[in-house]
């Protein structure tokens, strides 16, 4: 039991280990997921990993195991029922997916190359070795000595059973994973080699700083009416630039959302209820107020004592002039109505200074005898060092100064409601304490209130009203997106456009819990209009039209035609402007003369640039073609026209000088080695071709 108590004091460490997200975070990043191909083997599959179809049954079985392990671990550390909220459930689903990735990608790779951890090695890492796993040392280190308590560790391993054994088996798996990952990472690091040509390329790119001037004829200056193109031009551009149109699986939708909010009638009903409750509460004695609140409030009563300045202004200005038993007029805060009755007043300190001894479950039988020794004058500090089991042992049980809210309620009630010098026994969820109050300061008058809180929520009739509005749009738009838009216009509504929604998305615009919407859009066809969908825990009704559906891969030419036309037109304009600038350049003796002929100005670039510069300071776009041309030119030679992203350029290099801030070869090599880290893992997971369909189910 002592060992389990020690483990419970380190709950934060263990719960994070059990969830395991941190350990596996290196596996796959957003960029890798974004490049995964979308190939569905079945509408019921969770996805694919390295060619292995992940069935829903396999995922759910592993999720159930991880969930039970989480519950076991949580109860071990805290002796409380674990929270199973949305955040925890999402973490468990993420861990399960990462476990499957590990199984089919990482573990498979380890087996292929023969990486393994033997039973002997695992025992050394967890129990007997001189270099224990960091996970073990973190758990079993004695806070007083700062070293691993070997006897406690051995005792735990020898006597563990039940939930402790299940936890230990999972811990061994984590330690094995950590060891294998470390070895594979070493192989990864050794596989990264930066050769001298890489270093020389960067060195040459930044050794000179270059100053130049240029003129620009931008594409916007040429009317589209001067440009003509053929269908063959579009197909030719597409065939040469298909990689530009590589997409990931995503959807675009237009939608109308109806968020359900309380009606005026809903507010009126709560106001009538508050008036009824106030009439009843006015007749109650202070001792009956808390039971009344527990029966009638939407929120459990707060029994804290408040000083002036800590209450809402509407109460703070009047309550300290009233008497116990009085009920104040109800007031509104947002969607909540509040009715407060005065239970009583008490003079209390702001802070208390105390010492305590926390007894372990095995030593609770000694509480009375230790208490008697203290009453007879024994040293509190010495007995705290002998019997205490928390972090205050080394300080003789000193807690220092603390406020009422900083301690658990039974402990604070004892310390703040008793006079200085009191010695008492207190039971909390942490165990049995002996407490001695050393000092108190800043006494003031405080009030205790029993407050009924009633929140205005939409009635069934209100929900029906909002649903009817949404259903009208859905019914009129059921024949397609054109009808949907017309129905919205008729009602004076403007559909909202949301682009690039992935199957893994957990939100759409500002809306949460959108699994119904995500599922629909990945089952619908372009142009389809949904029925009424419930999102945000049924707080919002939504009607959506699927504008575009993209699957991973190269988009067909029809899907990207408009984008291609823009590029084709730009290239045609570039040809037109190159001819125009070349003609102006023929007999010109300077860049200024060319600028005069073309009706443009000359721009000087400052500060100087080099080949490794990320941009040209005077330009709003990154003109890599211009940057490359300028940094490979000779001084004082008028260039040929260069077609860039914004227009066509003509330039003149005016100065080439040595760069005083150029890096050393050693610094360049070190940076390249750092950038190449984890190359093996990146390649491994790109090759795994991971498809995540969980968004269809959660």
Which string of DSSP letters, residue by residue, matches 603-669?
Answer: EE--S-B-TT-S--TT-SS--HHHHHHHHTSPTT-BPPPEE-SSEEEEEEEEEEEE-TTPPPHHHHH
Region 96-118: what's the mean pLDDT? 90
Q: What is the pLDDT of residues 286-314, one digit of tens each?
A: 999 999 999 999 998 888 999 999 999 99
Residue 34: is its pLDDT beyond 80? no
In Å, how far from its chain's centre is CA 521? 24
Cα 670 from Cα 512, distance rounded (Å) = 44
Q: Residues 578, 216: contact at Cβ < 8 Å?
A: no
Region 396-425: what's the mean pLDDT? 94
Residue recorded with tokens 């029809």: 558
Q: What is the DSSP letter of 403?
A: E
Both tokens assigned to 421: 């010098």
Q: Which of 191-205, 433-447, 669-683 has the lowest mean pLDDT?
A: 669-683
* Domains in the chain, CATH or no CATH each: 2-191 (no CATH), 205-247+559-658 (no CATH), 250-260+459-550 (3.10.50), 262-457 (3.10.50.40)
Q: Which of 84-88, 240-244, 340-344, 494-498 has the lowest mean pLDDT?
A: 84-88
Q: Residues 630, 212: contact at Cβ < 8 Å?
A: yes
Identify the pLDDT of residue 8: 42
Identify the pLDDT of residue 11: 38
Helix (H, G, I), strand (E, B) or coil at 349: strand
Identify the pLDDT of residue 14: 41
Exposure string for 293-323, b = 16+ CB within 10 A, e = fewer:
beebbeeebeeebbeeeebeebbeeebbeee
Cα 480 from Cα 529, distance rounded (Å) = 6
Cα separations (Å) of 650 from 205, 220, 623? Answer: 22, 17, 13
Residue 191: is its pLDDT beyond 80? no
Residue recorded with tokens 């929270």: 83
pLDDT band at 29 (very low <50, low <70, confident <90, very high): very low
Cα 166 from Cα 170, distance rounded (Å) = 7
Query: Within 10 Å of residue 74's Cβ, how many Cβ atoms?
Result: 20
Q: Which of 227-231, 361-365, 602-606 has the lowest mean pLDDT?
A: 361-365
Identify the pLDDT of residue 377: 94
The end-to-end CA distance of the chain, in Å, is 40
Region 423-431: what's the mean pLDDT? 91
Cα 692 from Cα 504, distance rounded (Å) = 7
Q: Residues 498, 508: contact at Cβ < 8 Å?
A: yes
Nearest of 180, 172, 169 to residue 117 by alpha carbon: 180
Identify the pLDDT of residue 23: 35
Q: Specify which residues 453 forms β-bridges with.
A: 338
User: Which phi and psi (to 5°) does residue 559 adopt?
Assistant: -70, -30
Helix (H, G, I), strand (E, B) or coil at 162: coil
Residue recorded with tokens 């142009």: 527
């Amino acid at each position: 039991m002592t060992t389990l108590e020690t483990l419970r004091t380190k709950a934060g460490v263990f719960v994070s280990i059990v969830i395991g997200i941190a350990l596996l975070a290196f596996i796959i990043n957003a960029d890798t997921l974004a490049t995964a191909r979308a190939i569905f083997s079945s509408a019921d599959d969770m996805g694919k990993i390295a060619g292995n179809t992940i069935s829903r049954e396999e995922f759910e079985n592993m999720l159930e195991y991880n969930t039970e392990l989480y519950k076991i671990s949580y109860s071990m550390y805290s002796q409380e029922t674990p929270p199973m909220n949305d955040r925890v459930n999402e973490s468990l689903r993420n861990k399960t997916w990462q476990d499957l990735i590990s199984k089919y990608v990482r573990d498979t790779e380890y087996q292929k190359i023969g990486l393994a951890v033997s039973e002997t090695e695992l025992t050394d890492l967890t129990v007997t070795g001189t270099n224990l796993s960091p996970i073990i040392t973190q758990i079993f280190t004695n806070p007083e000595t700062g070293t691993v308590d070997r006897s406690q560790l051995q005792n735990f391993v020898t006597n563990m059973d039940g939930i402790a054994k299940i936890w230990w088996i999972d811990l061994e798996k984590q330690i094995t994973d950590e060891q294998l990952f470390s070895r594979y990472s070493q192989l990864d690091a050794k596989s990264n080699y930066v050769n001298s040509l890489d270093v020389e390329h960067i060195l040459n790119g930044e050794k000179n700083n270059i100053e130049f001037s240029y003129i620009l004829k931008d594409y916007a200056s040429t009317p589209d009416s001067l440009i003509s193109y053929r269908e063959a031009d579009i197909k030719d551009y597409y065939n040469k630039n298909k990689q530009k149109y590589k997409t990931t699986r995503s959807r675009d939708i237009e939608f109308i959302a109806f968020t359900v909010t309380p009606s005026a009638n809903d507010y009126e009903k709560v106001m009538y209820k508050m008036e009824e409750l106030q009439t009843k509460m006015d007749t109650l004695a202070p001792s009956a107020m808390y039971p009344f609140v527990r029966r009638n409030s939407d929120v459990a009563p707060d029994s804290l004592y408040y000083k002036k300045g800590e209450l809402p202004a509407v109460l703070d200005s009047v309550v300290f002039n009233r008497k116990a038993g009085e009920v104040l007029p109800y007031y509104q805060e947002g969607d909540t109505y509040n009715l407060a009755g005065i239970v009583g007043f008490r003079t209390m300190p702001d802070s208390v200074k105390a010492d305590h001894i926390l007894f372990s479950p095995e030593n609770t039988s000694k509480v009375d005898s230790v208490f008697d020794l203290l009453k007879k004058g024994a040293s509190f500090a010495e007995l705290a060092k002998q019997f205490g089991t928390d972090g205050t042992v080394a300080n003789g049980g000193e807690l220092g100064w603390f406020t009422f809210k900083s301690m658990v309620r039974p402990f604070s009630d004892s310390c703040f409601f008793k006079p200085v010098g009191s010695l008492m026994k207190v039971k909390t969820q942490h165990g049995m304490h002996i407490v001695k109050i050393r000092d108190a300061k800043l006494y003031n008058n405080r009030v205790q209130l029993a407050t009924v809180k009633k929140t205005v929520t939409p009635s069934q009739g209100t929900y029906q009203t909002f649903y009817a509005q949404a259903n009208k749009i859905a019914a009129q738009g059921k024949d397609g997106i054109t009808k949907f838009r017309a129905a919205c216009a008729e009602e004076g509504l403007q559909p909202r456009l949301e682009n690039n929604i992935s199957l893994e998305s957990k939100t759409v615009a500002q809306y949460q819990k959108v699994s119904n919407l995500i599922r629909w859009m990945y089952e619908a066809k372009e142009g389809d209009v949904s029925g009424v969908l419930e999102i945000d825990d049924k707080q919002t009704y939504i009607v959506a039209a699927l504008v575009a559906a993209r699957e991973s891969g190269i988009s067909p030419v029809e899907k990207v035609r408009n984008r291609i036309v823009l590029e084709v037109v730009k290239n045609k304009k570039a040809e037109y402007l190159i001819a125009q600038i070349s003609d102006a350049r023929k007999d010109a003796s300077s860049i200024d003369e060319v600028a005069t002929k073309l009706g443009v100005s000359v721009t000087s670039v400052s500060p100087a640039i080099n080949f490794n510069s990320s941009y040209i300071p005077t330009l709003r776009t990154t003109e890599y073609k211009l940057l490359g041309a300028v940094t490979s030119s000779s001084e004082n030679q008028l260039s040929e026209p260069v077609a860039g992203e914004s227009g066509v350029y003509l330039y003149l290099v005016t100065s080439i000088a040595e760069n005083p801030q150029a890096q050393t070869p050693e610094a360049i090599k070190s940076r390249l080695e750092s950038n190449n880290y984890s190359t093996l893992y990146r390649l491994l997971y790109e090759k795994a071709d991971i498809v995540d369909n969980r968004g269809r189910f959660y």
